[in-house]
Structure 1
Amino acid sequence: MMANEVSMDDVRHLTEQHYQSFLQARLAGAKALARLDAAMQARHALLPMPLTLRELALLPQLCDASLLALARSPHGGHWSRDDIGDMDPAMALAGDAAYADFSRAILKDAAAHIAAIHAGQLPYVADAAFATADSGVLARAARVASYRDDAWFAPVIATLLPQVCVAPGTAKSAPSQSLAMALGHGVETIPTQASLAALRTALEQVRHAGVRKKLERNLKPAEKALRARSALPGLIGVS
């Protein structure tokens, strides 16, 4: 079998924990890296994940601490109150310039994409604005920006969070339930003034009952966490 040819067993094995697979492949050499790339492409053909592939292409640029944080944590993408007390890999990634730049790029792209859907420039399909497999990547990028408290993040989250929660027009569906809830968890665990304001706006606009219920659970803990964070200004901001 060629390095770029993989079986379905390879696809399952290599892609279920692809950060660990990347570290192992990097040690094994070019053929192993090509095999991992082929497995990820095959998984993408079955389960679209374009942002996950963009992140995979970034991994060689990250420092060892960032790679280890991703590989060690079972909470690499989705993060919730149940994970508080464990190490959020976004904390390590916030100090990595390459990942910070990546976070800025994909979040700005995501905000522009959802704005185009709401403007009627792109078709609306419920729960199809972003690949479900990519919601964790976007949510982690938002947490990275929140840990850094980067100025560019305020207008991006002000667009992305409310608009991903509500359909254009009057439909009660949402462009992406998975991303809406993942972003809500991120606001709860590491809020900024801008992300908390975006959460409140989302709650004013959301029509999907399930999404509303989830976001309502994030609000009070986010308010409490922001008060605690504001009391420690020396811990806010990386740049």
Structure 2
Amino acid sequence: MAFARRALETAADRTDAIRTGEIPYKADKAFTDREVTSLGQALRVALLRDEPWLPDLLDRLLPEWPSPRQRRGPSSQALLYEVARAGQDFPTPELATTLRTVRGAVRHAGVPRKLDTMLRKIDAALAERTDVALRLPSPDFDDEGVLRRPAGEYEAVVRVTDTAALTWEKNGRPCAASRPRSAATTPPW
């Protein structure tokens, strides 16, 4: 595991250097084929073990843009696709999120379409890996089980006790038509 982490961190350092301009950007030349294969194997080990350090490292390994000047595609499409293939083998919600972020930012022809196909396979594989698929993020509920999120001049208020209830407030006061609603209910405007 130590080797896998060191290999992935070294690769992330290289993508950081490309993004900052320390290493010149050359389309799909950041890693050799052998490096991509080795990094894919290291990533599979980390994904299988669901290592806690991996999500932050993935964000560095697959940044949205390779450099401030180059805005077309990832520094290594081969590595991007290898990461997606590793995600099909051992998916995690964080990996899928990172790939969706990259997919939304990349403008290189064909990459978004190919990532869409790979993401569908990752989503299907994630359903089979319930030990990580059901991991929930901590959405900032307070000690009383209340979450508040602004929505224009309104505020959505979710209260979780034995059940969950959604209400809407304006200027700190419940909206007249606001009664507890399911999360699928539209706001009062």
**Where does residue 75 of structure 2 map in the other structure?**
175
Structure 1 gaps, min length 5: 1-99
Report whether the alignment pairs 1:194 with 2:98: no
Q: CA deviation at 1:198?
A: 0.8
Instruction: Give the counterpart letter for 1:208 in structure 2.
Output: H
Given that 2:31 and 2:76 are in contact with CA atoms closer than 8 Å, whether structure 1 keeps it comes out as yes
Q: Give the number of the structure whose residues are more often helix, by fraction.
A: 1
- Structure scoring higher RCO (CA < 8 A, sep ≥ 6) equals 1
Q: RMSD of the alignment, in Å?
A: 2.0
Q: Distance in 1 between matches of 2:111 and 2:26?
A: 16
User: Computing the radius of gyration over CA atoms, which structure comes out larger, 1 or 2?
Assistant: 2
Report whether the alignment pairs 1:114 with 2:10: no
Q: Give the number of the structure whose residues are more often strand, by fraction.
A: 2
- SS where residue 129 of structure 2 aligns? helix
Structure 2 gaps, min length 5: 136-189
TM-score of the two chains, using structure 2 as the length reference: 0.63
Report whether the alignment pairs 1:226 with 2:149: no
Given that 1:146 and 1:192 are in contact with CA atoms closer than 8 Å, whether structure 2 keeps it comes out as yes
Q: Aligned pairs, how many? A: 132
Q: CA deviation at 1:173?
A: 4.3
The percent identity for this pair of structures is 34
Q: CA deviation at 1:191?
A: 0.8
Q: CA deviation at 1:103?
A: 0.5
Q: CA deviation at 1:167?
A: 3.6
Instruction: Give the counterpart letter for 2:110 in structure 1.
Output: G
Instruction: Give the counterpart letter for 2:8 in structure 1.
Output: L
TM-score of the two chains, using structure 1 as the length reference: 0.51
Given that 2:62 and 2:74 are in contact with CA atoms closer than 8 Å, whether structure 1 keeps it comes out as no
Which aligned segments of 4 or more residues in structure 1 are displaced greater than 4 angstroms?
Answer: none
Instruction: Give the counterpart letter for 2:32 in structure 1.
Output: A
